[in-house]
Amino acid sequence: MITKVIHNPALANIEEHDATSATFNIEPLHAGYGNTLGNSLRRVLLSSVEGAAIVAFRIEGANHEFTTVAGVKEDVVDIMLNMKNIRLRVHSEEPIELRLEKKGAGAVTAGDIQTNADVEIVNPEQVICTIDDPKTTVVIDLVAESGRGYQTIEVSSANRIHSDMIAVDAIFSPVLRVRYKVEGTRVGRETNLDKLLLTVETDGSLSPRDAFEEAAAILVNQYTALAGSTIVDSAPALGQEKDGEKNELNTPVEELNLTARTANALVNNDIRTVHDLVTLTEQDLRELKGFGSKALDEVKDKLAELEL
């Protein structure tokens, strides 16, 4: 029987590609909800997750951005562009003033910034400028601030701590890229369900998981504020455990009392739980390596016994 309840989704798996990139597997979803959740999560991830950026700076010996600094290879515009690529963590609601001071020929990097307990530099290797003259000392004062989304140069200028500082338009978002893909899935007799694969890439100042959870929490808050006193009946994700019930879909295939040959064939094809098994069609099972007609009949009998 097809259920009329819109079941809550489940975070089935997180595939971490590296420290800054991960794919979130959300399934099973009500029909059509792959795009509904995927698009809303993507927009919030890119626009609303809190981050930090440089919003203003001052270089000793430079009165405005359209000038050069003695003994430095780059002009002030180039230095400003380089500073936009500095990734930070700011543990304060207030703007933080920082200073960079370096003498001698060579590259000046974000790691040369003198930080405090409220600020961490995520990419200290980021080059800010290059000193040509070994006798030159570069002194830069910076202001770092936390925020969300994009801040125009007009806003940064209006909020400057010091009027002689050069304002910078700031991209606070720690999320660099989000893409999603919707595929079909099934649970038992429910065959028209969605699976959402959401890949999140950050700049390293925030983990993909933390960014994902913050975006989801923002959406919860927004929709809760609009729902008023209306409550819609919901249910756990299909196949998820309910109070006092055994979640049979999470049962390992080794515990199904199948013959060793059949169980090994399933595990060797990366089918490890009943959930993995019921998402496959009969044709999918026939195409498995080392899986014959006897194994197919055995699995069909076992699923029938479990009423799946």
In the predicted structure, residue 50 carries a pLDDT above the cut 90: yes
Q: What gap in Å lies between CA 45 and CA 257, rounded to an integer?
A: 45
Mean per-residue pLDDT, 192-204:
94
Q: Specify the amino acid at residue 49.
A: V
Average pLDDT over residues 224-238: 77
Q: What mean pLDDT value characterizes the chain?
A: 88
**Out of 239-243, 249-253, 256-260, which region has the weakest mean confidence (pLDDT)?**
239-243
**Residue 245's pLDDT band (cuts 50, 70, 90):** very low
pTM: 0.74
Mapped to the 3 state alphabet, what secondary structure does the chain carry? CCCCCEECCCEEEEEEEECCEEEEEEEEECCCHHHHHHHHHHHHHHHHCEEEEEEEEEECCCCCCCCECCCECCEHHHHHHHHCCCCEEECCCCCEEEEEEEECCEEEEHHHEECCCCEEECCCCCEEEEECCCCCEEEEEEEEEEEECEECHHHHHHCCCCCCCEECCEECCCEEEEEEEEEEEEECCEEEEEEEEEEEEECCCCCHHHHHHHHHHHHHHHHHHHHCCCCCCEECCCCCCCCCCCCHHHCEHHHCCCCHHHHHHHHHCCCCEHHHHHCCCHHHHHCCCCCCHHHHHHHHHHHHHCCC
Contact 95, 147 (CB under 8 A): no
More reliable by pLDDT, 20 or 283: 20
Specify whether the CB–CB gap between 65 and 157 falls below 8 A: no
pLDDT digits (tens, 9 = 90+) for 80-128: 999 999 999 999 999 999 999 999 999 999 999 999 999 999 999 999 9
pLDDT at 303 over 90: no
CB of 72 closer than 8 Å to CB of 129: yes
Domains (ranges, CATH) in the chain?
Answer: 6-49+175-226 (3.30.1360.10), 51-171 (2.170.120.12), 250-305 (1.10.150.20)
* pLDDT at 221 exceeding the cut of 80: yes
CA dist list (Å): 87 to 12, 21, 123, 146: 31, 16, 6, 11
* pLDDT above 70 (res 4): no
Determine the pLDDT at residue 239.
Answer: 61
114: Cβ–Cβ under 8 A, 6 or more apart, which residues? Answer: 98, 99, 100, 101
Assigned token pair, 277: 């098994």
- pLDDT (average), residues 216-232: 88
Instruction: For residues 65 and 186, give the distance between their C-alpha atoms in angstroms, rounded to a whole number.
Output: 59
With bands split at pLDDT 50, 70 and 90, how would you rate the model's confidence at 243? very low
**Most confident stretch, 84-88, 225-229, 256-260:** 84-88
pLDDT of residue 235: 67
Q: Which residues of 110-128 are buried (b: 16+ CB within 10 A; e: fewer)?
A: bebbebeeebebbeeebeb
pLDDT band at 195 (very low <50, low <70, confident <90, very high): very high
